[in-house]
Amino acid sequence: MLPSHAYPKLKKYSHLKGNYGTAWQNQQKEFENIPAPILFTTNCIMPVKENYKDRVFTTSIVSYPEIKHIDENKDFIQIINKAIELGGYQEDKKLTGINGGNTLTVGFGHNTVLKVAPKIIEAIKSGDLKHIFLVGGCDGAKPGRNYYTEFVKHTPKNTLILTLACGKYRFNDLNLGEINGIPRLLDMGQCNDAYSAIKIGVELAKALNCNINDLPLSFILSWYEQKAVCILLTLLYLGIKNIKLGPTLPAFVSPNVLNILVEKFNISTITTPVNDLNEILSK
Ligand code: SF4
């Protein structure tokens, strides 16, 4: 699942697809028939099914009962041998994203995005760039999460979308074009990269001499489990307001907690993509 095509040494092998698979909830289905080993380096691992457990390895902070763990010496020979033994697909297979696209553009961590910050600031000032949306967070299997795909599809051409975490797999294969040479969809990475989004917001606010809440930047978040909730709490701690959260509110948000979140942070749940976009862009 890693954006391995962003790494130059892997990129030079044209037979490597780069990205395989989508969000966590599809693991059991997507791993079932691939003739290749799988290494978990971080993030959410689904219960490992019998029919592929001999091909799964973990390292670093991830581990799972009965699954081979690569220790801190990082000797990957077992995985390499497994890859050779399994042999890969006999014939080339066309793999696509959820929307049928087969190109992903990745690698927009804060260092990369901030390198083009002057261009972004110029585009904001000239009106070529009207708004930036951060659409990210966990994905999940329940209905209602298509909101995020539709939201992204409906965003006007003069807006940028920053994305990260599992939710992005719902729309990261869409070709949204560019604004002044900057791709409209900037993939910042996985959930752990929420730091990048925060950093970009803070640096843009500094450069434009305003508060982060005064930027033309909106957070449209999807949550599923505790890490997403930690990220949400971090954003609130930083005083970020007007976050839209979905697909539903976490169960622990009691009416009293919700009142505080609304009163202090103007947080709201998502409604429909068009309604929410109109509301945000009319401000
Ligand atoms: S985005 Fe959420 S579901 Fe995906 S790996 Fe991160 S914490 Fe897990």
Over residues 107-150, the pLDDT tens digits come to 898 988 999 999 999 999 999 999 999 999 999 988 889 999 99
Q: How far apart are CA 196 and CA 234, in angstroms?
A: 13
**This prediction's pTM:** 0.92
Q: Which long-range contacts (CB under 8 A, 24 or more apart) does 62-69 make?
A: 64/40
Judge if the beta carbon of residue 227 lies within 6 A of ligand 1: yes
| One-letter amino acid for residue 83 of the chain | A
Centre of ligand 1 to C-alpha 124, Å, is 31
Q: How far apart are CA 31 and CA 88, in angstroms?
A: 13
How many angstroms separate the Cα of 257 from the Cα of each of 40, 226, 263, 266? 36, 17, 10, 12
**For the CA of 165, the nearest atom of ligand 1:** 1
Mean pLDDT of 89-98: 88
The correct CATH number of 110-281 out of 3.90.1300.10, 3.30.1360.20, 3.40.50.2030, 3.30.750.24 is 3.40.50.2030
Q: What length does the chain have?
A: 283
Ligand 1 binding pocket mutation candidate from 27, 227, 245 (most atoms within 8 A of CB) = 227
**For the CA of 42, the nearest atom of ligand 1:** 5
Closest protein CA for atom 2 of ligand 1:
138
Judge if the beta carbon of residue 110 lies within 6 A of ligand 1: no
Question: How many Cα atoms occupy the beta-carbon half-sphere of 71 within 13 Å?
Answer: 1
Confidence of residue 3 (pLDDT cuts 50, 70, 90): low
Q: How far apart are CA 168 and CA 16, in angstroms?
A: 21
**Where in the chain do CATH 3.40.50.2030 domains reside?**
4-86, 110-281
Judge if the beta carbon of residue 231 lies within 6 A of ligand 1: no
3-17, 68-82, 92-106, 234-248: range with highest mean pLDDT: 68-82
Tokens 């209602």: give the residue: 144
Task: Domain 4-86: give its CATH code.
Answer: 3.40.50.2030
Judge if the beta carbon of residue 223 lies within 6 A of ligand 1: no
Q: How far apart are CA 194 and CA 200, in angstroms?
A: 10
**Better-predicted residue by pLDDT, 163 or 251:** 163
Closest protein CA for atom 8 of ligand 1:
44
How many angstroms separate the Cα of 266 from the Cα of each of 16, 132, 210, 218, 245? 45, 18, 19, 12, 11
Centre of ligand 1 to C-alpha 86, Å, is 28
Centre of ligand 1 to C-alpha 209, Å, is 33
- Of the listed ranges 13-17, 20-24, 248-252, the least confidently predicted one is 13-17
**For the CA of 43, the nearest atom of ligand 1:** 5
Q: Confirm if 148 and 220 have CB atoms less than 8 A apart.
A: yes
- Of the listed ranges 54-68, 74-88, 165-179, 186-200, the least confidently predicted one is 186-200
| One-letter amino acid for residue 7 of the chain | Y
Mean pLDDT of 229-234: 88
DSSP code for 56: E
pLDDT of residue 216: 96
